[in-house]
Structure 1
Amino acid sequence: MLRGDEKPEQLSEKINWESVDQYELENENGSKILFADVYKGVQTIVIFIRHFLCFTAKEYVEDLAKIPREKLESCRVRLVIIGCGDVKFMKQFRRDTGYWAEFYTDTKMGLYKLMGCKTTPDIGNLSSSKHAKSSAVMGIIKSAIRSTNFPGEWQGDTNQQGAAFIIGPDHDCHFRHIDANSADHYPINKLLDLVNIENICFMKDSGVITV
């Protein structure tokens, strides 16, 4: 399962399961859910993203939305994204990205910290990303246009970086990738490889299924 130097048991030992399990997230309607119930009983791809106006996060989630629902269901894999902006921004972000799967937010960013996510203003090298389609200038312009839906409001911490995990169905962490910067999203096809799901052909990453 794991691709990297750390073994799953080593990764699992680094997570304070008692603390993360009892951590409360919110969905788009403001209802609360314990993180333990997010991955309960099923292997789960958990993606932590940056603020809701981040163009690299938006473009990454747009590609996550292209994963066929039936492929995940047939392999008994759950897909979850967790943001750090206020609940009121979530429905617009879902509309902007076309994302269809489970979606929660952690406005206090406590779970981000518990899971080891970084805070840094570093954008990184956009050309190295498999999922960032916009240049820095165009991305910022697009974000500014989207911000007009909620003028003058921050949609999360601009220094908060994301991460990718594969956890569950119990207290097992099979894989983790902590984003070093805004362009450091883990390639989606590599995540799909880890859960034995056929690759997808994205704009910047070749695969098997054309989307």
Structure 2
Amino acid sequence: FDEHALPTAEQLRKAASLPVLSHDGKCHRFGDLWEGSRTIVIFIRHFRCPACQDYVRSIVTDADVDILDKAGIKIVLIGMGSPSLIRPYAKLLRSRIPLYTDPTLAIHRALGMTLRTTDAGPEHARGDYIAHGVVGGIARMLSSALPGKMSFRHKSGDVTQLGGEFVLGPGLRSTFAHRMTNTRSHCSILRVVSAAG
């Protein structure tokens, strides 16, 4: 496991060929999301992770999708749970960032996101996007399962699998990589945007 190693061309080729699922359960080739232009690809943890919900909220607030688009930079989110949770998740977080899922975790493995843990890491090292404590996070996770939100009957993803952030494309190239080391260690979205150029 290497937190910052850029994926090799072979790793990118393998990952690009793998499928992601959209909200309707349809398969899409992962590479089609980023091979055509510079793309920030964010791998979140399970759909119920309160820390990742805070992270996506920070992206929605701090990364203007329209400005990025004008600069030729796309942004996509990749979850790992049931595709049926994509729309409720986006609605809950008021996000219009394209969101797909990799429920098999094959892309995670191909890009070196192999660390699995439920460790939240030291308090002083938590991401600056975290907007709640442990108790508040649990309360938020439970409230998101209320009727009309994200039902617990759908799988939200592996709670031990960590995510990461990459700048990929155009073509089989990567210029930035960060893999999470604990459940609250997403890289600041402003740092990722800066790396995207």
- What is the TM-score of this pair, normalised by structure 1? 0.83
* Post-superposition offset of 1:154: 3.7
Q: Which ranges of structure 2 fall in alignment gaps of 5 or more residues?
A: none
The alignment yields a C-alpha RMSD, in angstroms, of: 1.8
Task: Label 1:75 to 1:131 Cα distance change in 2 as closer, same or farther (>3 A).
Answer: same
What does 1:5-154 align with in structure 2 at a 5 Å threshold?
11-13=6-8, 15-66=10-61, 67-117=63-113, 118-127=115-124, 128-148=126-146, 149-154=150-155
Task: Label 1:126 to 1:47 Cα distance change in 2 as closer, same or farther (>3 A).
Answer: farther
Give the share of equivalent positions with the same residue, in percent: 23
* Post-superposition offset of 1:195: 2.5
Residue 179 (str. 1) matches residue 180 (str. 2): yes
Quote the Cα distance in structure 2 between the aligned partners of 1:109 and 1:126: 28
Contact 2:35 2:172 in 1 (8 A): no
Task: Label 1:135 to 1:23 Cα distance change in 2 as closer, same or farther (>3 A).
Answer: same
* Post-superposition offset of 1:74: 1.5
* Post-superposition offset of 1:41: 1.3
* Post-superposition offset of 1:14: 6.6
Task: Label 1:158 to 1:102 Cα distance change in 2 as closer, same or farther (>3 A).
Answer: same
Quote the Cα distance in structure 1 between the aligned partners of 2:123 and 2:112: 23
Count of residue pairs brought into register by the alignment: 189
Q: Report 1 or 2 for greater relative contact order, CA contacts < 8 Å, sequence distance ≥ 6.
A: 2
* Post-superposition offset of 1:90: 0.9
Quote the Cα distance in structure 1 between the aligned partners of 2:85 and 2:123: 25
